[in-house]
Structure formats: structure tokens, C-alpha cells
């Protein structure tokens, strides 16, 4: 049995700012990780595809406030920065369909 992926260790190199801000990013990263793990059985950000984050923002966060989506977007940008990917999380990615 393998150990669960440690998202805190994964993000430790890109986290900065106050302790409260770091804790918020870690909490939100764990929520993103858990949601993608539950839906696609992929707990490791290295195995995520663009569609996984797009699903998180369009489906999982449906009904959340725009402010919540904004803060999750900031956390997702840290994950992508740590991965060194060139994905964009533009307005179209997280826009809501009303």
C-alpha cells in the first residue's frame, strides 16, 4: 500500500506570505486534491490533466460565490506554478454558466 500524496510538501516551495494565507492555500489544495481523487482516482497533481481542474471549477464549485472561486483559482495557480506547466486558468475556464 502506498502512502497518500503530501500536497503540503508539494506546495512548500511556492508558498509565501502570512501563515494564515499559507494555511488557506493548503486547505484549498487538499479540497481540490480530494475532489479530483474522488472523481477520477488521481490524487497526485503530476497525473492531473487540464480537464480535471476545469471540471473542479465548472462543476464542483458550482453554487460557490465568485470570491470563493477566485481564491481557489489562486491556489490552483500555485499548484500549476509548482508543476511548471503552461496551462492557463483564464476567465473562460472558471466562468459560470447561468
The DSSP symbol for 2 reads P
In this predicted structure, what is the pLDDT of residue 91? 56
| CA distances, 21 to each of 2, 56, 59, 64 (Å) | 30, 21, 25, 20
Distances (CA, A) of 90 to 17, 37, 53, 74: 23, 23, 12, 11
Is residue 63 included in any domain, yes or no?
A: yes
Q: Is the pLDDT of residue 48 over 70?
A: yes
Domain of 22, in residue numbers = 7-94
* Alpha-carbon dihedral sign for residues 22, 12, 78, 52: negative
Residue 81 within a domain: yes
In this prediction, residue 4 carries a pLDDT of 84
Q: How many domains does the chain divide into?
A: 1
Output the pTM of the full model. 0.87
Amino acid at each position: 500500500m502506498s502512502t497518500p500524496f503530501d500536497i503540503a510538501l508539494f506546495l512548500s516551495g511556492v508558498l509565501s506570505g502570512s501563515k494564515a494565507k499559507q494555511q488557506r492555500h493548503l486547505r484549498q489544495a487538499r479540497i481540490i486534491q480530494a475532489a479530483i481523487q474522488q472523481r477520477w482516482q488521481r490524487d497526485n497533481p503530476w497525473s492531473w490533466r487540464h480537464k480535471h481542474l476545469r471540471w473542479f471549477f465548472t462543476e464542483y464549485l458550482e453554487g460557490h460565490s465568485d470570491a470563493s472561486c477566485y481564491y481557489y483559482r489562486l491556489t490552483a495557480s500555485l499548484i500549476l506554478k509548482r508543476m511548471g506547466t503552461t496551462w492557463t486558468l483564464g476567465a473562460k475556464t472558471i466562468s459560470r454558466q447561468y
